[in-house]
Structure 1
């Protein structure tokens, strides 16, 4: 019988061929590596999707993102915390989504559905031409995706490099182009778009799409208007001339130069 919880976690991780980087990371990871999550990582390791798991890159309200390696190179592994996630807040974004209408309303099932939802949303966005981390696979509450960065250092968030952006107008136009593609081709609203959920790595990259909703979602319009407001507010501070009303109209008609484009 294992009496030391931290020691048990380390030994389980070693048995699963997943490397925990150091003890400081382990402090952050307590509450993440429960037995079902370790089993999910084990399955992903057996299938060669994960070779080793490194340190924590970011810790959010619902999930931790880890740097990892697969057989080809660097990847990102996002693990949603089942015990501490705000599953009631998640329900607002899942209820009304026909892709998940049969999901039970308990914490575990909501979090697992949320993980699958982010995978599917990233796939839809990528297929529509939006720059996002390329999703690879999900297993239970674990999402494996492309690593944005180099040598274990992830790309910064847009908010972190605001003063360094050489072409604010061009960056704004690229983001609004992605918003149009997301709306018309993917049929999605990001639902939490801001400088905190956009990476910048030579170009803007949309991230954190677990909460993104289909246009048919009962709150899609509300979320869409909020996204627009966040983007306009941020770029106005950088001197870009833009308005919420103008951007809403531009996105909904499909763009400045193609007002007759239909929603796809």
Structure 2
């Protein structure tokens, strides 16, 4: 007697197929994620950058490199430690980015410190990192609240980490409350940067100011220019305008633009 073939119910078959399809999708997502992570590693840690990091390790500038804490189109920032255990931030400018040249030359051309700089991609990025280091160093020496710069080589910049336990300090944008006192603190820092350090930030906004230990700390100085730069005045007016608009939108009473400009210039 022939035994009839046992068949699964259609609903059970559909469930199995659904589970297999879901597992396949998860596997594909994981593979894409791994692929993206490898692409990111290759993009950041090219041969030149690895050589620079190795040199900084040998020179005792850094000892341990931890995970990424911030990411942008032009750079990645990693948490790290010095041989003495100090927490530092390592900013690595991407040498392969196609976005970099666009809009960046105007901040370098006209700066007497960078006359004759090559416009070849990686050399321009090295000059950009050098510019940020020199601007931070000048600002720090003049008493402006900035992350203390510790070293720069090629496309790699090392500076003091602002925050606790490798958690970055909040920016002004991220603060839930602001006050006239904080507004005055920020304006005072801009004034000190202009009058004492002879620099205009050129990208001054709530996104580029930490508020930590009851004081504003300015960062992101690569685009900052000296007062002799042909567009320094234009950048200064834009910086002051950005800050006035931000605080006004958050309900803080601010001065008008002309008064702000006179205050920063000390007139």
Question: Which band: TM-score by shorter chain?
Answer: 0.7 to 0.9
Whether the aligned pair in 2 keeps the contact of 1:25 and 1:55 (CA below 8 Å) is: no
- Greater mean deviation of Cα atoms: 216-225 or 82-91: 82-91
* Moved >6 Å (runs of 4+): 22-25
CA 108–24 in structure 1, closer or farther in 2 if over 3 Å, else same: closer
Q: Out of 220, 224, 230, which is 2:236 matched to?
A: 224
Whether the aligned pair in 2 keeps the contact of 1:90 and 1:110 (CA below 8 Å) is: no
Q: Out of 79, 88, 100, which is 1:67 matched to?
A: 79
Pairs aligned (count):
230
Note the 1:201-240 alignment, pairs <5 A.
201=212, 202-240=214-252
- TM-score normalised to the size of structure 2? 0.82
Provide the residue aligned with 1:77 in structure 2. Answer: 90
Say yes or no: does 1:97 pair with 2:111. Answer: yes
Provide the residue aligned with 1:41 in structure 2. Answer: 53
Q: Out of 183, 186, 193, which is 1:172 matched to?
A: 183
SS of equivalent to 1:89: coil
Whether the aligned pair in 2 keeps the contact of 1:133 and 1:147 (CA below 8 Å) is: yes
Provide the residue aligned with 2:147 in structure 1. Answer: 133
- TM-score normalised to the size of structure 1? 0.83
Flag structure 1 segments of 5+ consecutive residues without an equivalent. 1-21, 260-264
Cα distance per residue 1:198-252 (max 9 Å; x no partner)? 1111311100000000011111111111101110011112222222121011111
Flag structure 2 segments of 5+ consecutive residues without an equivalent. 1-33
In angstroms, what is the RMSD of aligned CA positions? 1.7
Whether the aligned pair in 2 keeps the contact of 1:198 and 1:204 (CA below 8 Å) is: yes
